[in-house]
Amino acid sequence: MSERQELRRHYRRKRNALTPEIQNLNAEAVAKHFFTSGLGLRAKTIGAYFAEDAELDLSPLTMRLLAAKKRLAMPVVRADGIMEFYRYRRNGRLVLNRYGIPEPAPGAAFVAPMSIDLLLVPLVAFDRFGMRLGMGAGFYDRFLGRIPERFRPLLVGIAHETQRCMDPLPYEDWDIPLNGVVTEAGWQALPE
């Protein structure tokens, strides 16, 4: 087993060990910290995600973003493995993708990659240098790799504090670092 696979297993176990009560408290704290940080003030279009496998639940945050009239975009993984973003509206129709994750149903409005100002990214682990360990499929790195660097959105990891790795995470040339992370402990710009 590779180092990255071992780290994924370790941090997924830590994430999954959190009780539902702690997960809910963390989700509320992240929503509060997001708004007090001012992160979303200038962002018109925000890419988010539907949580799975004990990822931090963005529901409290997305409901507040919708109430603040922000345009939300959620990922859709096409049959060819390419991830794109589509408009998400409160009570909009959702379907489950092949991974069992909700995504906007066919007919939702396409959101152009360069129109996303801020992208909230799930992760398995993160370090102080802005490196993120994802689930291993590379959807986010490939999505961001298609956008010229100067037009990329602000990339913000969303996590439970228990997912913080104190040592530098291994990375590949194609891994795109985070600009910051929000956990229940607050907002932190990365790299330090």
Backbone angles phi, psi at 56, to 5 degrees: -65, 125
Token pair 């992240």 in the structure block, residue: 30
Above 80 in pLDDT, residue 1? no
Write a three-state SS string for 99-164.
CCCEEECCCCCEECHHHCCEEEEECCEECCCCCEECCCCCHHHHHHHCCCHHHCCEEEEECCHHHE
In tens, the pLDDT along 134-172 reads 988 889 999 999 999 999 999 999 999 999 999 999 988
Measured distance CA(187)–CA(23) in Å, rounded: 17
Residue 65 has pLDDT above 80, yes or no: yes
Q: What per-residue confidence (pLDDT) applies to 192?
A: 61
Tell me the residue type at 115: S
Q: In terms of Cα–Cα distance, which of 91, 90, 89 is closest to 109?
A: 89
Task: pLDDT band for 123, please (50, 70, 90 cuts).
Answer: very high
pLDDT digits 0-9 by tens, 42-57: 899 999 999 999 999 9
Q: What is the pTM of this model?
A: 0.95
Mean pLDDT of 110-130: 97
Phi, psi of 95 (to 5 degrees): -130, 160
Other Cβ atoms less than 10 A from the Cβ of 102: the count is 15
